[in-house]
Structure 1
Amino acid sequence: MSLKEKCSNPMTILVVFLIVTIVALLTTFIIIRSGDQEITVVVQPLVAATTVTYDTVPVDQKNISNIQKVCRSPECAILSYQLLNFRDESVNPCDDFYKHSCGKFIEHSTQESQFSRKDLILNRLIKEFVMKTKKSSSKSEQVMIDFNSVCGRYQDPENYEKMEHLAYKDLLKDIYQMGGWPMMNDGLWKSIDLSKLIYQIGRLDEKKEYINLGLFTFDFSSTRKFYIDINEHNVTSDFGSFEKLCKVAGLKCDKKDYEERIKEILEFQGKLQKLDSLLNSTSNRTITNFLILTYFQYTTYQLRSFVNDACERQLLKFFPRASYRIFARNHFNKENLQAVSNLVNDFKKGYIEMFEESTWIHEETKKKAIEKVEKMEKMIGYPEEMEKPGALDATFETINFTKNSSAHEILSEISRHGIQQFMDFVSSDTIPDLSRLELKTNAYYSPKENMLVVLLPFIDDPFMDYSFPKYAQIATAGALISHEIGHGFDSKSIKYNWKGEKEKWMEKEDLKEYKKRVECLILQYDKYEDPDLGRVMNGTKNRYELLADDLGAEVAWRAFKKSEAESDEKIFGFEDYPLDKLFFHLKALKMCSGRSQPYWITSNHPTHSFRVNGVLSNMKQFAEAFNCPVGSPMNPETKCEIF
């Protein structure tokens, strides 16, 4: 509230009036009481260099020191709030540490988890930016503004039919440029130029990981290599969208004939694994129908998403790099980048130390494992090349649409531009890989590049801040980053060497023991009884995450013990709390979520409760910190250890 608003508040005026009245009454009372007494005023000369001394109150210097060592940043205040309010102290930490740390999370959040809450905030930040910015000198920003304008009009019920008609009209125009579609029975299709048609229907998938060319795909997987795979696109019968196209073309399409053509296409699709012989034995008409149908169905799916998905979500989906740039420029504290880079270096040292101290792997295996860690690359936030002014905008110079373009024109242009970016990257050794930059709360490890990627939202509030004490940085976002490094040694990535090439670098005897230890984690998860879902987990499906969790926790603890935590700033409310215990509370904090949902049964990730209880029950350091008796849920007699 402004000063003007405060002064005009009726309650403020009343309070001021009462204070003035009371002061006046007291003054009058004093004058009346002193009226009968002679008042003598004594004036003394001012003496130069007079020294005035005051009594002082002894100060406890130790307490001042403690106060000065409490982290006072807003981010630390939020961290303190979460630690104090998410926990349920009625639950014994040795029985269920997840509930002990997160039992009251649901009382303080409307979102399923802190990750989903962060993603929602990201959506809103991008929406706010494009809504308030009408014109921008940045090419990437202007593209997003124009897209949002068209999306908004498309989702307006009053404009929908007109906008859809324009989109289908442009789609029909593209199909005619492909030579026509036999299924439409309009007499325009004559023959097929297979190479040209495959080029014309090429499109970038939603995840921007491969180019779909109808019969096959180019899979890039974020490397300069690409793989050709047989297309597994599932053709479906969608007569409704086909009928709309016919209507725009001024045709009356027969449903029975449409279904006959679909049947032919499905038979063709089922034989795609034998592509060479299939092309020679199949009519050009059926091949054309198949290729254009896959293109048509994907395009109409995108048009439906244009209506059903919130515009801000589509902005993040279609313009991940531009959205990333907006977040980095307007909402991210770059001081976090160096803090996280330092953490990664600490964790790499921890992994090397863990391998050196392992009692069961042979020296040659240790050497290869350490080499993989030492040469693991990292991308924290974004490539260095993106720091240059205009670096991202330069990649948008070739994308062309305006706020007057149709939805189909825009989606086609986005796909064309994306394919061009991919091909430029694959054919060059100097163009940076921007495909990793997505505005998501995520970090990941790429085995084919032996690279750790940490995205900006993952190292932002509430997961990380440079103002956090070092031990808090390690236990929160740090522990999750340590987990991602651990993926370099999970059951899938263990097959790749430090160059990202497939190699059996573990000694046979070591590999056998390794698999035995991974099996311990699998069985442990199979037997886990989730408080919401019961005992329905599949450890085999989750084995990669289980192992990364286990390794990540071990190495994060090592980094914590080397961080000189005792001399670091305290977190408010935990000034006298043992730091070993606080480390585990901080680690559990980022896994706090609502009730486990049924989708966790088929998810590749373990439930959040297991990622706390299961992982920490394998750590003797946890049992020692909380003095958990042997045989208690959080200190089982049998523990799983990897390296």
Structure 2
Amino acid sequence: MTPTKLLGRLVGIFVITTIVFIILYGVEKTRKTITTENRTLPLATTTDDVCFTPYCVKAANYLIESIDETVEPCEDFFHFACGTWIKNTRIPDDVSAQSPFNLLRTQLYYNVIDEADIEATGVDPILSLVNTELGGWPILQGSSWSSSTFDLSNLFLKLRKYAYNIIYRIGQSDLALGQKQYYANETNITIAYRQLIRELAMALGNDTSMIDQDVNDIFEFEKNISKYHWTDDEQRARYDETVRTTFNNLSLTFNTTFDFTDYVRRSYLLGNVTLQDTDVVAISEIEYLNNVSLILQRASPRTIQNYMVWRFILSRTSDMPQHIRIIRQRFDRIFRGTNTERPRTARCGSFVNRILGFAVSKLYIKKYFDENAFNESLEMINNIRDAFIEMLQGSTWMDVESKTKAIEKAKSIDQHIGYPDYLASDNNTKLDKDYAEYTFNSSYIRNILKLLEIFAKENFQLLRKPVDKKDWDEYSAPSVVNAFYDPSTNRISFPAGILQIPFFNKDAPKYLNYGGIGYVIGHEVTHGFDDTGRQFDKDGNRIPWWTEETIKKFNERKTCIINQYSNYTVTQIDMQADGNLTQGEDIADNGGLRGAFFAYQKWAANNKNVDKRLPGLQKYSSEQLFFINYAYNWCIKMTNAYAVNRLRIDVHSLDQFRVTGPTSNFDEFDRAFGCTPGQGNSRKDKCSVW
């Protein structure tokens, strides 16, 4: 299959008329001058050490348009580095926050789909599936819905066919509102959520005789489930409670009136996989599973049916006609702080990239990826890994045995950079095989449902596929703008999508690259030694490999990080951060910044007078610009709703704390900017794990 034919296959999936890729460094925005009316920047006495390449001019522009020199960097480095950017940035109506990182993601590709077809198709395909496969949605049928044919196991199974894990996985599933805190008290969000259920039901059906009671029952049912839902930090703290058993002993481990063993067995048959008695099963959140099973046992069939189908309907609102999406948007305005729906082009692009990432990547890398990125990234990875090993060697709290094993693990870290080799080949045999079933010629929504079926089946089939630690994971497709660490393979991954401005450019001074993608590399390396990663050895086995004394010292240092970040207040919404929730990412942020900086220092010592300064920013040293570019990548402007959601749900700290936290702990930052410990951006008692 040629790339043109491969693209044609993608086009057929969504009745797409055009796919146009827009890459940041392929988009030339109208440039502003280096100097601005309200700022006079010092000029160097000589231009010999100033970089005037097109890239340096571009980098100088975006940093000058971000820095606010009225703010003292030692007092508030985030607003020093991002203040002007924040003042001049408008949050688009369709998103709840804007940042350079988000801009990079949305500019990766753009496609146009047939909106007229979606409107013409309407909601009939969804309602047909609900009625013929799921047993109907009682809220639409009033008193005419009968529980005589209700079959809980069959309902779970039918939803699993379309990749839905509602209530159950082999562990807990998710909640519609994300976290249990949202259900604890009556708020504008819970009111809006019930209104969303009611309005969608009104829009999809005509019988309103029981709608109010059904809405309340759906909400109360989910509220009861939420009481037993484990938060992310609870899951992290109770990770040791995961039970591993064999499939034939599953019923002994999880003994409820609901036949969980039969459900799991029949689920895997959807992927033509027959479970053996000796297959190993890992069950998490058993306490949740037992309690929720009791809730299911006591609830009426109507309530269960209403809730399960409601969650399915909710997840598919974005694929329905505009009048349905408008209803959803009214809720999102309250819950997420967005004023309009995200463009269908962007949503479709995200979906295509998630489901068909490697096919999309084939086209992307052929046209846009710079091969120099691979070699330079590999060099940086090796330099930063060496810097991290030196940090390990300099550790005063690890005993010799644990330190030796930690160094062995760091040396053993594997890496994926850019894309798998087969995508660069003209031979498309592997892509043809991987996407053999991905041929569609129906309406948009029907094609979506078929994709979900394929996605579910492929997930089940993973159980019998041989494990190849060199394989690229589906979540790290080359076109993804992100980076990853996998503790089970001890591997870091940097897809091609993130190897671009402002994180990386082959023509950039190294202080910008090390402050950008270098920090990202250091962050992912450090994940191998955070509160979760440190539980896996160099081969990815989750076994004890540190001494108890070293674990104790690690936990003491980790506690310092937790307390530091828990004391941060988001003044915009007057809420405290949760250091327990974000501890793993905070450890990685702190270690990543240190590792990248030390690696850059070593590179600069061996390559004197190579890096030149940026025009208009000559007053800043290369080390200062390292930190400034690091901070720039976390500039953000957000709605209140977005900030609340991030604080409650995200394991990453809010972006301003990802700047102030690591820099305030770093002596080298103080030295670079002349800060005195005790100033706003310099802690006296610095926290350091690595």
**TM-score calculated relative to the size of structure 2:** 0.66
SS at match of 2:493: strand
Query: Could you tell me which residue of structure 2 aligns to residue 372 of structure 1?
Result: 409
Provide, for residues 345-400 of structure 1, a one-character-per-residue CA deviation record: whole Å limited to 9, x for no partner: 22111111111121221111112211222222222233333333434354333123
Query: Could you tell me which residue of structure 2 aligns to residue 48 of structure 1?
Result: none
Q: Which of 366, 375, 386 in structure 2 is aligned with 1:338?
A: 375
Provide, for residues 404-444 of structure 1, a one-character-per-residue CA deviation record: whole Å limited to 9, x for no partner: x2344222111012123324444222675323327543212
Change over 3 Å in CA distance of 1:296–1:515 after alignment to 2 = closer
Change over 3 Å in CA distance of 1:421–1:339 after alignment to 2 = farther
- Between the aligned partners of 2:458 and 2:258, the Cα distance in structure 1 is 32
Residue 492 of structure 1, CA deviation: 2.4
Residue 583 of structure 1, CA deviation: 2.5
What are the equivalent positions in structure 2 for 1:376-455 lying under 5 Å apart?
376-389=413-426, 390=428, 391-402=430-441, 405-429=442-466, 433-437=473-477, 439-455=479-495
Change over 3 Å in CA distance of 1:632–1:335 after alignment to 2 = same
Code of the aligned partner of 1:212: Y
Query: Could you tell me which residue of structure 1 aligns to residue 577 of structure 2?
Result: 537
**Is the counterpart of residue 117 in structure 1 residue 103 in structure 2?**
yes
Contact preservation (8 Å) 1:351, 1:555: yes
- Between the aligned partners of 1:292 and 1:471, the Cα distance in structure 2 is 56
- Between the aligned partners of 1:640 and 1:239, the Cα distance in structure 2 is 50
Q: Which of 310, 316, 320 in structure 1 is aligned with 2:349?
A: 316
Q: Which of 417, 433, 457 in structure 1 is aligned with 2:497?
A: 457
Change over 3 Å in CA distance of 1:163–1:317 after alignment to 2 = same
- Between the aligned partners of 2:572 and 2:219, the Cα distance in structure 1 is 47
- Between the aligned partners of 2:578 and 2:343, the Cα distance in structure 1 is 34
Q: Which of 635, 647, 663 in structure 2 is aligned with 1:592?
A: 635
Query: Could you tell me which residue of structure 1 aligns to residue 290 of structure 2?
Result: none
Contact preservation (8 Å) 1:491, 1:543: yes
Change over 3 Å in CA distance of 1:287–1:435 after alignment to 2 = farther
- Between the aligned partners of 1:528 and 1:180, the Cα distance in structure 2 is 48
Q: Which of 389, 406, 427 in structure 2 is aligned with 1:352?
A: 389
Contact preservation (8 Å) 1:526, 1:537: yes
- Between the aligned partners of 1:72 and 1:594, the Cα distance in structure 2 is 31
- Between the aligned partners of 1:514 and 1:533, the Cα distance in structure 2 is 33
Residue 630 of structure 1, CA deviation: 4.6
Provide, for residues 438-485 of structure 1, a one-character-per-residue CA deviation record: whole Å limited to 9, x for no partner: 754321222233222223332212221111123321112211221122
**Is the counterpart of residue 568 in structure 1 residue 610 in structure 2?**
yes
Change over 3 Å in CA distance of 1:188–1:361 after alignment to 2 = closer
Query: Could you tell me which residue of structure 2 aligns to residue 298 of structure 1?
Result: 312
**Is the counterpart of residue 229 in structure 1 residue 229 in structure 2?**
no
Residue 302 of structure 1, CA deviation: 0.4
Residue 632 of structure 1, CA deviation: 3.1
Aligned residues: 527
SS at match of 1:87: coil
Contact preservation (8 Å) 1:170, 1:409: no
Q: Which of 616, 621, 637 in structure 2 is aligned with 1:578?
A: 621
Identity of aligned residues (%): 22
- Between the aligned partners of 2:65 and 2:565, the Cα distance in structure 1 is 29
**Is the counterpart of residue 362 in structure 1 residue 370 in structure 2?**
no
Query: Could you tell me which residue of structure 2 aligns to residue 637 of structure 1?
Result: 684
Provide, for residues 519-564 of structure 1, a one-character-per-residue CA deviation record: whole Å limited to 9, x for no partner: 2222323344566566733322322222111111211121011113
Contact preservation (8 Å) 2:65, 2:84: yes
Code of the aligned partner of 1:371: E
SS at match of 1:202: helix
- Between the aligned partners of 1:288 and 1:481, the Cα distance in structure 2 is 51
Rg larger for: 1
Query: Could you tell me which residue of structure 1 aligns to residue 190 of structure 2?
Result: none
- Between the aligned partners of 2:219 and 2:530, the Cα distance in structure 1 is 44
Provide, for residues 10-47 of structure 1, a one-character-per-residue CA deviation record: whole Å limited to 9, x for no partner: xxxxxxxxxxxxxxxxxxxxxxxxxxxxxxxxxxxxxx
Residue 94 of structure 1, CA deviation: 2.6
Q: Report the more deviating stretch, 112-121 or 90-99.
A: 90-99
Contact preservation (8 Å) 1:180, 1:189: no
Contact preservation (8 Å) 1:203, 1:213: no
Q: Which of 83, 86, 90 in structure 1 is aligned with 2:70?
A: 90
Code of the aligned partner of 1:619: F
Provide, for residues 230-281 of structure 1, a one-character-per-residue CA deviation record: whole Å limited to 9, x for no partner: 556669985766677777xxxx686379849967995999699976424599
Structure 2 residues without counterparts, runs of 5 or longer = 1-44, 92-97, 178-192, 230-252, 261-293, 326-341
Provide, for residues 198-233 of structure 1, a one-character-per-residue CA deviation record: whole Å limited to 9, x for no partner: 5443245xxxxxx4355733xxxxxxxxxx235566
SS at match of 2:107: helix
User: Which structure has more RCO (C-alpha within 8 Å, separation ≥ 6)?
Assistant: 2
Query: Could you tell me which residue of structure 2 aligns to residue 255 of structure 1?
Result: 210
Contact preservation (8 Å) 2:198, 2:212: no
Structure 1 residues without counterparts, runs of 5 or longer = 1-62, 132-147, 155-159, 205-210, 218-227
Code of the aligned partner of 1:570: K
Contact preservation (8 Å) 2:569, 2:575: yes
Query: Could you tell me which residue of structure 2 aligns to residue 612 of structure 1?
Result: 659
Code of the aligned partner of 1:347: I
Contact preservation (8 Å) 2:511, 2:626: yes
RMSD: 4.1
**TM-score calculated relative to the size of structure 1:** 0.70
What are the equivalent positions in structure 2 for 1:255-294 lying under 5 Å apart?
255=210, 259=214, 266=221, 276-278=256-258, 290=304, 294=308
